[in-house]
Amino acid sequence: MDEITIPTVEVSGVPDPLPTGLVVVDVREDDEWAAGHIEGALHIPLGQLAVRADEVPADGQVLVYCHAGGRSARAVGFLQQRGVDAVNLAGGVIAWHQAGRRLI
C-alpha cells in the first residue's frame, strides 16, 4: 500500500491576510468552532467530511485545520485522494493562536 505524504504548512508560511480565493476548512467539532475559528473558514467536522466533500472546491488550494493538526491531516489525505489540492495547517488552531493570528 502506498503511503500518502500529507502536505503541511507552518503558520508562518500562511500569508496574513489570507489570500483572496484561498479556501480554509475547519474540521473541528461544533463546540470547538463556536469557541473561535479562522475568519471565512468553512466548517465541516471531520465526521461529516465524507458526505460533505463536494462543498470543498477542487479548483485552487485548500488550507485545512483542526485543534492540533491530527484530524486535519486525515482530512487532507482524504481530500487529496479526491483530487483536491489540500494542505494541513501544522499545529492547528493552537499554533495559529500562539502566532498571534486572529480568531473570531
Structural domains of the chain, with CATH: 8-98 (3.40.250.10)
Question: Which pLDDT does position 103 carry in this prediction?
Answer: 97
Active-site positions read 66
For 89, the grid coordinates are 495547517
For the chain, 104 residues long, the average pLDDT of each consecutive 10-residue run is: 81 95 97 97 98 95 97 97 96 97 96
Q: What's the confidence (pLDDT) of residue 16?
A: 95
pTM for this model (two decimals): 0.95
Query: Would you state the cell numbers that stand for residue 80, as one nine-digit string?
Result: 487529496
Q: What is the pLDDT of residue 2?
A: 54
Selection from 36, 62, 68 nearest residue 49 by Cα: 62
Q: What is the pLDDT of residue 3?
A: 62
Provide the pLDDT for residue 102.
95
